[in-house]
Amino acid sequence: MPAKNVVTAQDLTKRVMSPEGDLTLLQGIDLNITSGETVAIVGASGAGKSTLLGLLAGLDTPTEGRVSIDDEDLFALDEDGRARLRGEKVGFVFQAFQLLPNLTALENVMLPLELAGRHDAHLVADGVLQRVGLEQRASHYPKQLSGGEQQRVAIARAFAPHPQVLFADEPTGNLDRHTGERIIDLLFQLNAEQGTTLVLVTHDQHLAARCQRQLELDEGRLI
């Protein structure tokens, strides 16, 4: 039985207005990502990697084209519908970690579970924090953690609700090489354990090589 398409994009185009006129960020992107696949989107700075990731995750709207996640057309949904879908099926890891500064490590991991109305949020979050090796840091605030630790919390937060798809935007961009490698190991381990589909944006060839497939973007087009 062939693997099911989890993320699909058809003729995805994004144009923005600039002082010099219309600027095309992405042009006619078509892609299919199957369940459990690991995909790296690579390209030079300004090639449109983060724009594509934002569109695939439904964080931004395209000028043309469609995106579906698990057969659900993202842009047929309203803003709240997309938020609900993200809560149910999508996880994120960001370059800048994006932890809520006033919540502890544990509370940050609990947040998506609580937003989804899960009553076992505390238990699940505890388990995932343990899995990323931060059980001793559970009550620490982001400010009290190192960059690597913050990213591990972010990874725990992303995996805690068992998403179908995980989008990672330059997950090692703010980390030193050694820490970055450990973070990537963790990311791939969790990905394998949960059978998650992983879509990550990076300009790091070494990291991209660890993915099953690489998509290269150049001036808004897949090559």
Partner 1 sequence: MNVLRIALRHLDREWRAGELKVLAMALIIAVASVTSVNFFTSRIHQALAGQANDLLGGDLVYLSDRGIPEQLVKRVAELQLQNARTVEFPTTVVAGERHQLVALKATDSSYPLRGHNRTAPKMFATDAQVAGGPVPGTVWGGSRLLTILGVDTGDEITVGNTRLRVAAVLTSEPDQSEGVLMNIAPRLLMHTDDLPATGLVQPNIQVVYRLLLAGDADAIAQIRQEWTPRLAHGESLNDVQDARPEIRSALKRGEHFLALAALVSVLLAGAAVAMATRRFINRHLDNCAIMRCLGAEQRVITQLYLIKMVALGLLASVVGIALGYLAQWGLMLFLAPLAGIELPAPSLWPVALGLITGMATLLGFAAPPILQLKHVPTLRVFRRDLGGLQISTLSAYGAGILAFTVLVLFQAQDLKLAAAIIGGLLIVLLLLALVAGALLLLLRPLQKRGGAAWRFGLVNISRRSGHSLIQMIGFGVGFMALLLLAVVRTDLLSAWENRLPEDAPNRFLINIQAKQLDGVRQFLRSEGVDPPLLYPMVRARLTEINGKTISLDDFKTDRAKRLIQREFSLSWADKVQSGNAVTSGSWWRPEDHGKPIISVEQSLARELGLGLGDSLTYDMSGKRFSAKITSLRKINWESFKANFFVVTPPGVLDIYPVNYITGFYLPQEQHNILNRLVQQFPNITVLDVATILNQVREIIEQVILAVEYVFIFTVLAGLMVMYAAIHATLDERIREAAVLRTLGGRRGQLLSSIVLEYAGLGLLSGLVGSITAGAIGMVIAKQIFDLTYVPGPALWLSGMLIGAIGVGVAGTLGTRFVLNQSPLKTLRGI
- In degrees, rounded to 5, the angle at the alpha carbon of residue 163 between the alpha carbons of residues 2 and 8 is 45
Q: How far is the CB of 3 from partner 1 (least distance, A)?
A: 25
Torsion over CA: 45, 151, 39, 161 (sign): negative
Of 83 and 138, nearer to partner 1 (C-beta) is 83
> Could you list the residues that contact partner 1 (CB under 8 A)?
50, 53-54, 57, 59-60, 79-80, 83-88, 90, 92, 94, 98-104, 107, 111-112, 114-117, 143, 157, 169
CB of 40 to partner 1, least distance (A): 17
Nearer to partner 1, 93 or 222 (CB): 93
**Degrees to nearest 5, angle at CA 11 with 89 and 17:** 95
Q: What is the DSSP string of 68-87?
A: EETTEEGGGS-HHHHHHHHH
CA 220 to chain centre: 20
Closest CB to partner 1 among residues 95, 191: 95
Smaller CB distance to partner 1: residue 8 or 108? 108
As measured in angstroms, the least distance from the Cβ of 173 to partner 1 is: 12
Pick between residue 94 and residue 188 the one whose CB is nearest to partner 1: 94
Least distance (Å) between residue 2 CB and partner 1: 29
Half-sphere exposure of residue 209, counting CA atoms within 13 Å on the CB side? 4
Shortest distance, position 45 Cβ to partner 1, whole Å: 14
H/E segment holding residue 165: strand 165-169
Q: Contact, 190 vs 152, CB < 8 A?
A: no
